[in-house]
Amino acid sequence: MLSVQGINVFYGKGIHALKDLSLEVGQGEIVTLIGANGAGKSSTLNTISGLVRPRSGSVVFRDMDITKLPAHKIVEAGLCQVPEGRRIFANLTVQTNLELGAYLRKDKAAIARDMQRVYELFPRLAERKQQPAGTLSGGEQQMLAIGRALMSQPQLLMLDEPSMGLAPLLVKEIFRIVQEINRAGTTILLVEQNARMALSIAHRGYVLETGRVVMTDSASVLAEVDEVRKAYLGG
Amino acid sequence: MVEFFQQMINGISLGSIYALIALGYTMVYGIIRLINFAHGDIYMVGAFIGFFATTVLKLPFFPAFLMAMAGCAVLGMIIERIAYKPLRHAPTITLLITAIGVSFLLEYGMIWAMTPQPRAYPNLLPTYQFNFSGLIVSVQQLFILVVALVLMVLLHVLVQYTKAGKAMRAVSYDKEAAALMGINVDSVISYTFALGSALAGAAGLLVGVYYNRIDPLMGIMPGLKAFVAAVLGGIGIVPGAMVGGLLMGVAEALVSAFLSSTYRDAVAFAILIIILLIKPAGLLGKKTQEKV
Ligand SMILES: Nc1ncnc2c1ncn2[C@@H]1O[C@H](COP(=O)(O)OP(=O)(O)OP(=O)(O)O)[C@@H](O)[C@H]1O
Ligand SMILES: [Mg+2]
């Protein structure tokens, strides 16, 4: 479904953030990208989303070359990202945030239905529809960011560290919902530092180190590999 | 007492014109954090478009009015596309200097095309005046007030309730996140310029009608004052520009009537300094306030 081939990303003159990075995501999968701080996880998602331009390499999504497409066209193609740090519109209400998620859609009835679905998925948002999104708690903001992305009806949903800064119970909740979204038919590319949780719900995983893929396998195998256990799973 | 109310009325008409110009400053600032110093000159161009529409094309008020707005909208988009868009990732100071350059270009371009000679604006509106026991309100003042009010209400509805307005607020808050919603950020910036410039064009024609006189450098002082008004209200905040504009107009009218017309511009800036000392973010400004 998504095929990233040998991308190289530079910031400024010196920083070579992604080095010949390739990865594949198949229809219906949950694929996780794990790695330490600064490994290049966000850079990978931002390159796929069109926010960062690779110097070389290609990104193909459902047989369409999206490497040079502007970010808003990539969303139109069915690829949506929940960015690191949520990036919700704090000045707008919860409801308006969700409406903006459906910005490209014109099917009013279906939008209303999806909004209902998001509120069912996240009842806490339903209780806070008219509240400025900036007043939500961290966990609620993460739910809003996911809900907002769902409103675009993505084929492939990319999540950048959805567990960041959340209490363990909430992390569990978020991961359960990610799984639920996947079962409902949305393919998932999940970036995480919480490798244990990520590997527990993913089908396959990639391990990133300083801009390179150093390992890839099924999630269950990765969870047993010594290096991964030592580096990311606390022994 | 009558004199006081008279000056209030004069001040409110003048102030609603400042408000229209201030809105453009504030919208552009809200969307790309640029003080568009060429904005006062767009207002000047609006006055000249109106002048041409009514003298050469012999159009009546409303068609001329629409033409001034449309002409300025296009001008605003062209300026953004050519002068500012290539600098999207440049430092703010570069953008600011470019804006000053664009301002000079419009001013001296117009002098070159039209000579610096002031022109007499045709009488587009009835010159009738109502007299309420000594209080004199001209039809023109009423027109300015009503037109400005209608435009501001329309703008408010657009920004608050339409999809385009919500996209503007999203872009103003976070461009990357907006792009991730599928919003075409470049085109939102472009129509924000169009909107702000159209309002300036409307103000230009109204001022031509009100003062009967236009010239290529007429945009400098009102431009500055509208900028002050926008900062006064809280730059980037739409209702702030409206409040700030009215306040400026009223203050100016009162000062020229009761103190001295020589000092009225000094007062404008004194007000700015005092208010900013007390409320650094402007009258309606909050730290977390959205910026459109
Ligand atoms: N806009 C930028 N300008 C310059 N350097 C950047 C920029 N964004 C990222 N980098 C650098 O690129 C490298 C990869 O960063 P990236 O954000 O992709 O890492 P990450 O794996 O997402 O890290 P984290 O887990 O901390 O979010 C880092 O060395 C970072 O400093
Ligand atoms: Mg990151």
At B191-236, the pLDDT tens digits run 999 999 999 999 999 999 888 899 999 999 999 999 989 998 888 8
Of B280 and B183, more confident? B183
Quick one: pLDDT at residue A234? Answer: 65
Residue B41 gets the label, from left (phi > 0), alpha (psi -120 to 50) or beta, of alpha
Phi, psi of A216 (to 5 degrees): -150, 140
Entry field: residues in chain B: 292
Predicted local confidence at residue B52, as pLDDT: 94
pLDDT of A97: 97
Instruction: Look at ligand 1, atom 2, and give the residue with the nearest C-alpha.
Output: A11
Q: How far is CA A116 from CA A120, B70, B260, in A?
A: 6, 41, 63
User: Tell me, which fold does domain A25-52+65-232 have in CATH?
Assistant: Rossmann fold (3.40.50)
pTM of the model: 0.90
B196 C-beta neighbours (distance < 10 Å), count: 31
> What does the CA dihedral A62, A68, A73, A79 come to, rounded to 10 degrees?
40
User: What pLDDT band is residue B237 in, cutting at 50, 70 and 90?
Assistant: confident
The percent of residues above 70 in pLDDT, for chain B, comes to 98
* Domain residue ranges in chain B: 19-219
DSSP A6: E
Q: CB neighbours of B217 closer than 8 A, spacing ≥ 6?
A: B44, B107, B111, B116
Higher pLDDT, B128 or A144: A144
Judge whether A176 is closer than 8 Å to chain B, CB to CB: no
Average pLDDT value over all residues in chain A: 93
Q: How many CB pairs under 8 A join A and B?
A: 69
Q: Tell whether A28 is within 8 A of chain B (Cβ).
A: no
Local confidence band at B133 (pLDDT 50, 70, 90 cut-offs): confident
Tokens (6 digits) for B116? 């610096």
Residues B130 and B113: their CA atoms lie apart, in Å, by 39
pLDDT for res B262: 82
Nearest residue, CB atoms, A72 vs list B173, B183, B289: B183
- How does residue B289 score in pLDDT terms, banded at 50, 70 and 90? very low
Scan for tokens 């949305």, then name that residue: A186
Share of residues in chain A with pLDDT > 90 (%):
87
CA of A212 to the centre of ligand 1 (A): 13
Region of poorest pLDDT, from A157-161, A166-170, B246-250, B278-282? B278-282
Residue tagged 């794990």 (tokens): A34
Tokens 């739910």 correspond to A143
Residue with tokens 């070159």: B112
Q: Return the best residue to mutate from A23, A43, A161, A209 for the ligand 1 pocket (most ligand atoms within 8 A of CB).
A: A43
> Rounded to the nearest 5°, which phi and psi values hold at A90?
-65, -25
Tell me the per-residue pLDDT of A104-125, one tens digit each, with 9 for 90 and over: 999 999 999 999 999 999 999 9
Comparing alpha-carbon positions, the chain A residue that sits nearest to B187 is A72
CB < 8 Å to A50, chain B: 179
Under 8 Å between Cβ of B116 and B108 = no
A31-65, pLDDT tens digit by residue?
999 998 999 999 999 999 999 999 999 999 999 99
Q: Are strands A64-65 and B213-214 parallel, antiparallel or unpaired?
A: unpaired
Quote the minimal CA–CA distance from A229 to chain B in Å. 34
- Per the CB < 8 A criterion, the answer to whether B220 and B94 are in contact is no
- Residues lining ligand 1, Cβ inside 6 A: A 11-12, 15, 17, 35, 37-43, 84, 193
A185: left (phi over 0), alpha (psi -120 to 50) or beta: left
Q: Is the pLDDT of residue B288 over 50?
A: no
Ligand 2 centroid to B30 CA: how many Å?
28
- Identify the pLDDT of residue B235: 86
Cβ atoms of A191 and A41 closer than 8 Å: yes
pLDDT of residue A86 exceeding 80, the answer is: yes
Name the residue among A50, A80, A96 with its Cβ closest to that of B166.
A96
pLDDT at B23: 94
User: Which residues in chain A have their CB less than 8 angstroms from residue B85's CB?
Assistant: none
- Which of the pair, B175 or B273, is modelled with greater confidence? B175
Q: Which atom of ligand 1 approaches the CA of A52 most closely?
A: 1
* A232 pLDDT more than 80: no
Three-state secondary-structure class, residue B124: coil
The pLDDT value given to residue B166: 95
pLDDT at res. B159: 92
* Cβ burial A3-36 (10 Å sphere, 16+ → b, else e): bbbebbbbeeeeeebbeebebebeeebbbbbbbe
In this complex, the residue of B163, B179, B290 whose CB is nearest that of residue A91 is: B290
Using the beta-carbon criterion (under 8 Å), do B182 and A104 form an inter-chain contact? yes
Question: Could B179 and A70 be called an inter-chain contact, meaning their C-beta atoms sit closer than 8 Å?
Answer: yes
C-alpha pair distances (Å), A147 with each of A6, A116, B11, B185, B229: 32, 11, 49, 21, 39
Please indicate whether, in this complex, the C-beta atoms of B288 and A90 are within 8 angstroms of each other. yes
Q: Is pLDDT of B103 > 90?
A: yes
Task: Report which protein residue has its CA nearest ligand 1's atom 9.
Answer: A43
Distance of CA A84 to the CA centre of its chain: 8
Q: Is B148 exposed, middle or buried (0-12, 13-18, 19+ CB in 10 A)?
A: buried
pLDDT of the residue at A119: 96
Residue B290: pLDDT over 50: no
Rounded to an integer, what distance in angstroms lies between the CA atom of residue A35 and that of residue A229? 12
